[in-house]
Amino acid sequence: MVLADLGKRINNAVSEVTKASVVDQSAVDGLLKEISNALIEADVNVKLVLNLRKKLKATIEAEEKPGINKKKLIQKAVFDELCDLVDCKETELYKPKKKKTNVIMFVGLQGAGKTTTCTKLAVYYQRRGFKVGMVCADTFRAGAFDQLKQNATKAKIPYYGSYTEADPVKVAADGVDKFKKEKFEIIIVDTSGRHRQETELFAEMIQIGEAVQPNQTIMVLDASIGQSAESQSRAFKDSSNFGAIILTKMDGHAKGGGAISAVAATQTPIAFIGTGEHINDLESFTPRQFVSKLLG
Ligand code: GDP
């Protein structure tokens, strides 16, 4: 089930129960069941769903006192639990500082939308008055540098890369050095995302991380990849210890639940969501806003 339908289905279930003249135990159980099924069909991890169901039931039952508006209570409890699902309170997002060098390293598998998102984020910060540069540290995929160059040129962002240097660690370090010397405030490092030799990819992420010492590492995750989002993000977490997630392709027919589960699996907050192929299609993420929009 895609995200838009998930919102509708949860909404319907809540309306159903709140429309009934008496909200009895079986109506509440029916609601819990329907919400759980909808979340599971949207690829949210089963354990997370069971946990949500338990908490939701407990809240509804605990606050059940005469005189309390049960319908309102249910609406609020559902909203709060959905917020909790996408909210990572443990880690705070890094905020780039002006007049300082902020190195932001991107990681993620090929096709996730990394290069596109690097450019979107560069534009986002440039608009907010930062001096931004982009470094292409993907020497594995032929055409990676050209793609970044094309994107950066279109967005008028200075860039760095090499057609001849095969060592991504060196390109990353050189690019960051160059921009640091030129007093750039935000340096975005795009990395490789090749699929096949994953152990090599993760080793490379560790080396680049050591070379450029990022202030923030962001994992780019395709929201449509379903359940495998969790294992993928755990593997990247171990190698690059990213501090933020950007979910891409949230505009498409993404189920999104797998990617949402990655937040809990890695205890990492979502910083932005990608909502289209255009350079401006990037929205900063806040759990309450996201859930409000989801529920329409
Ligand atoms: P990379 O291999 O991870 O660097 O991925 P790319 O940046 O090349 O993106 C892969 C494809 O996904 C491209 O066709 C992008 O235009 C597309 N893409 C990236 N982000 C989004 C998004 O938020 N929404 C949509 N619809 N497409 C996206």
According to the model, what pLDDT value does residue 69 have?
80
Q: In ligand 1, which atom is closest to the CA atom of 275?
A: 23
In percent, the amount of the chain with pLDDT more than 70 equals 98
According to the model, what pLDDT value does residue 20 have?
77
* 141-150 CB contacts, 8 Å cutoff, 24+ apart: 141/110, 141/192, 141/193, 141/194, 144/115, 144/190, 144/192, 147/115, 148/115, 148/118, 148/119, 148/190
Q: In ligand 1, which atom is closest to the CA atom of 190?
A: 4
Best mutation site among 121, 136, 151, 277 for ligand 1, i.e. most ligand atoms within 8 A of its Cβ? 277
Compute the distance from residue 117 Cα to the ligand 1 centre, in Å.
Answer: 7
Query: Where residue 195 falls among pLDDT bands split at 50, 70, 90?
Result: low
**Closest residue CA from atom 5 of ligand 1:** 113
Q: What is the spatial distance between Cα 274 and Cα 112, in angstroms, rounded to a whole number?
A: 11
Compute the distance from residue 152 Cα to the ligand 1 centre, in Å.
Answer: 15
Render pLDDT for 121-174 as a digit per residue (tens, 0 to 9): 999 999 999 999 999 999 999 899 999 999 999 999 999 999 999 999 999 999
The CB of 111 under 6 Å from ligand 1? The reply is yes
Q: What is the spatial distance between Cα 201 and Cα 7, in angstroms, rounded to a whole number?
A: 36
More confident residue, 61 or 212: 212
Average of per-residue pLDDT values in the chain: 92
According to the model, what pLDDT value does residue 240 have?
92
ipTM at complex level: 0.99
The CB of 251 under 6 Å from ligand 1? The reply is yes
Compute the distance from residue 249 Cα to the ligand 1 centre, in Å.
Answer: 7
Structure tokens at 82: 């959905």
Q: Is the pLDDT of residue 235 over 80?
A: yes
Nearest to 136 by CA among 191, 207, 211: 191
Structure tokens at 179: 């921009």
Provide the phi-psi class of 284: left if phi over 0, else alpha when psi is between -120 and 50, else beta: beta
The CB of 249 under 6 Å from ligand 1? The reply is yes
Compute the distance from residue 224 Cα to the ligand 1 centre, in Å.
Answer: 12
Burial class (CB in 10 A: 0-12, 13-18, 19+), 152: buried
* Section 13-37 average pLDDT: 88
More confident residue, 250 or 70: 250
Question: Beta 282-284 vs 270-274: how paired, if at all?
Answer: antiparallel
Find tokens 């059940």 and name the residue: 64
